[in-house]
Amino acid sequence: MSGQAKPSKVSASVDFARAGRQVGYLSAPHSRDGSGWGAARFPIAVFKNGTGPTLFLTGGNHGDEYEGQIALVKLIQGLDPQRIQGRVIVMPFLNFPAAVAGTRLSPIDGVNMNRAFPGDRDGTVTRMIADFIYRHILPLTDAVADLHSGGKSMYFSPFGAIHALDETAQMRRAEAALHAFDPPIALVLRELDAEGMLDSAVEGLGKVFVTTELGGGGTTSAATIAVAERGVRNLLIHFGLFEGKPQTRAGLGLPPMRRMTMPDDAYVVADDAGLLEMLVDIDGRVASGQPIAHIYRTDRPGDAPAVYRAGADGVLIGRAHLCRVEPGDFLAMVAREA
């Protein structure tokens, strides 16, 4: 990639080496009609004390996913740097312009931050920020937790996830971090499209990566925010950044974490346009071949609906949130108890 050796066009108002608490921003040049010499500012916080590992926590990678944004804003407001050993870097709104707009993609350049890695210093705003993160933040970190939800278009049974990795030791470390996060479901996730993700960028550098899908529909619940807040606190303790006892599901009287994997044919995708009727709700058990959804053609209401079936036995842990669907849309996702 040309230009990768050149310095980033993004500047940081925070000093990653300085002790204490800093709340500032990354600034990417963004000349536009209303601000000829303007910049786009992405909030960032750095907490550092003594020596120890560095944890990078991100929310709002997609702007319409809110548990991570809220939990990490609360962390920035509540974390006392004197009480940590090491460094915590927090970006609650990784794609800030998207978060402000309440959209998945950046309204500036239409780019999905989670398909922009490793970034491009000569690219648009989202790609410039991804390049800065890839070259200047990820090398500082030992582990990254990127908190997602379903956004406006999807809904998930709250789960935490890692990916299957060829490096066994790296996968074990990620698994230990995921179990420390202690989500309702701990899933080994297979992505539909992994290229350009922050996930793949971090894993490619040999570091620990944990992600979540905590709900969706463009909103939050008390329960899903609690999963995010408790998980982040447990991660800080897991990595030795923070003293204290992890808050476990058992200690809170919650059902134990369910370990799940993804079977082949886990994803169900629409071939038809129309109106989606889910036949099974989130967390419902399904058998391979069982009808799980109908799509009705609204232009031909007299026609029988297209029938969509589960491709595997398991539990329905994800679904489309919007009822209007098009060919190619994600409809549902099935996971299997490990």
User: Residue 61 Cβ, how far from Zn ion at the closest point, in Å?
Assistant: 6
Tokens standing for residue 16: 């990653």
Stretch that binds Zn ion, among 142-150, 179-187, 253-261, 269-277 (CB under 5 A): 142-150
Site mask for Zn ion (CB under 5 A), range 56-95, x = bound: ------x--x------------------------------
User: Residue 104 Cβ, how far from Zn ion at the closest point, in Å?
Assistant: 7
Site mask for Zn ion (CB under 5 A), range 101-140, x = bound: ----------------------------------------
Stretch that binds Zn ion, among 145-153, 201-209, 238-246, 252-260 (CB under 5 A): 145-153
The 3-class secondary structure across 82-123, one letter per residue, is HHECEEEEEECCCCHHHHHHCCCCCCCCCCCHHHCCCCCCCC
Phi, psi of 179 (to 5 degrees): -70, -30
Is the Cβ of residue 65 or residue 131 nearer to Zn ion in the bound state? 65
- If you ran DSSP here, which 8-state letter would residue 23 be given? E
User: Residue 151 Cβ, how far from Zn ion at the closest point, in Å?
Assistant: 6
Is the Cβ of residue 112 or residue 124 nearer to Zn ion in the bound state? 112
Is the Cβ of residue 121 or residue 148 nearer to Zn ion in the bound state? 148
User: Residue 199 Cβ, how far from Zn ion at the closest point, in Å?
Assistant: 11
Whether 120 contacts 128, CB under 8 Å: yes
Phi, psi of 203 (to 5 degrees): -65, -35
User: Residue 148 Cβ, how far from Zn ion at the closest point, in Å?
Assistant: 3
Helix (H) or strand (E) holding 224, with range, is helix 222-238
Is the Cβ of residue 147 or residue 257 nearer to Zn ion in the bound state? 147
CA distances from 215 to 145, 153, 220, 224 (A): 17, 11, 7, 7
- If you ran DSSP here, which 8-state letter would residue 150 be given? -
Is the Cβ of residue 46 or residue 70 nearer to Zn ion in the bound state? 70
Tell me how crowded residue 54 is: count the other CB atoms within 10 A of its CB.
Answer: 22
Number of residues that bind Zn ion (CB under 5 A): 3
Tell me how crowded residue 23 is: count the other CB atoms within 10 A of its CB.
Answer: 14
User: Residue 147 Cβ, how far from Zn ion at the closest point, in Å?
Assistant: 9
DSSP labels, 297-336: -SS-TTSPPEEEE-SSSEEEEEEES-SEE-TT-EEEEEEE
Given 148, 163, 173, 319, the residue binding Zn ion (CB under 5 A) = 148
Is the Cβ of residue 148 or residue 230 nearer to Zn ion in the bound state? 148
- 230 near Zn ion, rule: CB under 5 A: no
Residues that bind Zn ion (CB under 5 A): 62, 65, 148
